A = this chain, B = another copy of it.
Amino acid sequence: MAGEFESVEKSLEKHLPPKELAEVRRILYGKELKALDFSSEVKNLADKKNFELKGYAFTAEKESLRPARVVRVGLIQNQIILPTTAPVPQQIESLHQRISEIIEVAAQCGVNVLCTQEAWTMPFAFCTREKHPWCEFAEPAETGATTKLMQELAKKHNMVIVSSILERDDEHGEILANTTVVISNTGKYLGKSRKNHIPRVGDFNESTYYMEGNTGHRVFQTQFGKIGINICYGRHHPQNWMMYGVNGAEIVFNPSATVGALSEPMWPIEARNAAIANSYFTCAINRVGTEIFPNEFTSADGKPAHKDFGHFYGSSYVAAPDGSRTPGLSRTRDGLMVAEMDLNLCRQVKDRWGFRMTQRLDMYAESLAKAVQPDYQPDVVTEK
């Protein structure tokens, strides 16, 4: 994207003297992570396919009674391929192809669990408030073409795939939902998880299309760890993150679509805070690029109508329970982030920091039960 700033990390690397860079990185990113070493074949492939490839390893202490549980997670951030005016089937097909080829490279990088960005089979058209043709991108979670394709790839590559789509629920009133489908590495459909909190802000007119999710905070036991999915706007809600932790998640994915002016300073904060507070890994994934729509729309900001949504700034990253994090992928290019993690770190951090032990959930269960009563009186001390 011409004129867009590429990344904080590149700017720091370019200008700070080594000693200061090390201190700034320590404070901003935590414990230094080893970069993963990929074969030149894989690196060339990523170059040829024009996406950024980055990889980092989170380590844990060796234990006496549990073997290490090292898994590799892959996050894909990408632009749409065809203009939003292209026929719907072609738009979907072009994204199916693009993501399949990036998944191919992810497989060669040893990725065990792969996650896409939110609603990856379509432009993020909810800014328009128009139903046509965007609702046509919706598919049944269990049997849609995208799920079928992901099942093939999951089986082929022995990889869990976490695929975020716009869902059409044929069996329940043909409603739409913002849904993530989890496919086992055996190729089996494992289940789905819906977006729990729906935005009503600026260009994020999603409440026009679907309601708050009704799938709760289920966690999926895969061969590569217990995973949960907190979709996009749900990252602003610490209680949402909390419940995935309560259900035992070791990795929580946050497939997102968000633009610069609105949310960028919050982006490095929220998923990382959740990793710290809940002693699990978090993976924040944002799309990239600028999407232009055929008809004008307004953004509820007093400005004139226009046809684009602003710049999706990518910057996908992984954060660990010990507060460390990877650098972000680029703000401007498609990318694959590979993170190797020993899941034993979760329990080790629970033992060390004690955040789960000291959580006092019983107190909050009681406080919240009172607070949600319509006649709740806040506890306010005033001068007598």
Residues of B within 8 A of A54 (CB): none
Residue pair A201, B272 in contact (C-beta under 8 Å): no
A378 to B247, CA, bound (A): 5
Answer whether residue A98 sits at the interface, using C-beta atoms and an 8 A cutoff.
Answer: no
A184 to B382, CA, bound (A): 10
Give the residues from 1 to 28 in chain A that come closer than 8 angstroms, CB to CB, to chain B. Answer: 5, 8, 11-12, 15-17, 20, 23-24, 26-28
Could you list some 10 contacts between A and B, CB below 8 A?
Answer: A11-B20, A11-B23, A12-B12, A12-B16, A30-B266, A212-B360, A226-B380, A236-B277, A238-B241, A247-B379
Answer whether residue A66 sits at the interface, using C-beta atoms and an 8 A cutoff.
Answer: no
Residue pair A27, B269 in contact (C-beta under 8 Å): no
A274 to B84, CA, bound (A): 37
Of the stretches A135-143, A188-196, A291-299, the one at the interface is A188-196
Of the stretches A45-53, A115-123, A368-376, the one at the interface is A368-376
Most buried by B among A28, A216, A217, A358: A358
Residues of B within 8 A of A200 (CB): 354, 357-358
Closest B residue to A233 by CB, please name it: B358
A248-B378 CB under 8 A given contacts A265-B323, A359-B237: yes
Answer whether residue A290 sits at the interface, using C-beta atoms and an 8 A cutoff.
Answer: no
Closest B residue to A202 by CB, please name it: B352
Closest B residue to A31 by CB, please name it: B265
Mark A258-289 against chain B: 1 for CB-CB distance below 8 A, else 0. Answer: 00000111101110110011000000000000
A226 to B383, CA, bound (A): 12
Question: Which bucket holds chain A's interface residue count?
Answer: 35 or more
A24 to B372, CA, bound (A): 40
Query: How many copies of the shown chain assemble into the complex?
Result: 2
A261 → B minimal CB distance (Å): 10
Say which residue of B239, B276, B358 sits within 8 Å of A364 (CB atoms): B239
Residue pair B359, A239 in contact (C-beta under 8 Å): yes
Residue pair A264, B27 in contact (C-beta under 8 Å): yes
A28-B8 CB under 8 A given contacts A359-B237, A362-B372, A383-B186: yes
Say which residue of B11, B323, B355 sits within 8 Å of A269 (CB atoms): B323
Answer whether residue A365 sits at the interface, using C-beta atoms and an 8 A cutoff.
Answer: yes
A9 → B minimal CB distance (Å): 10
Answer whether residue A29 sits at the interface, using C-beta atoms and an 8 A cutoff.
Answer: yes
A132 to B191, CA, bound (A): 58
A4 → B minimal CB distance (Å): 9
Residue pair B361, A196 in contact (C-beta under 8 Å): no
Residue pair A381, B243 in contact (C-beta under 8 Å): no
Say which residue of B217, B265, B354, B360 sits within 8 Å of A367 (CB atoms): B217
A324 to B269, CA, bound (A): 11
Answer whether residue A336 sits at the interface, using C-beta atoms and an 8 A cutoff.
Answer: no
A11-B16 CB under 8 A given contacts A219-B379, A269-B272: yes
A241 → B minimal CB distance (Å): 8
A315 to B378, CA, bound (A): 32
Residues of B within 8 A of A268 (CB): 27-28
A8 to B28, CA, bound (A): 8
A380-B218 CB under 8 A given contacts A238-B242, A243-B367, A368-B364: yes
Say which residue of B12, B28, B221 sits within 8 Å of A265 (CB atoms): B28
Answer whether residue A126 sits at the interface, using C-beta atoms and an 8 A cutoff.
Answer: no
A222 → B minimal CB distance (Å): 8
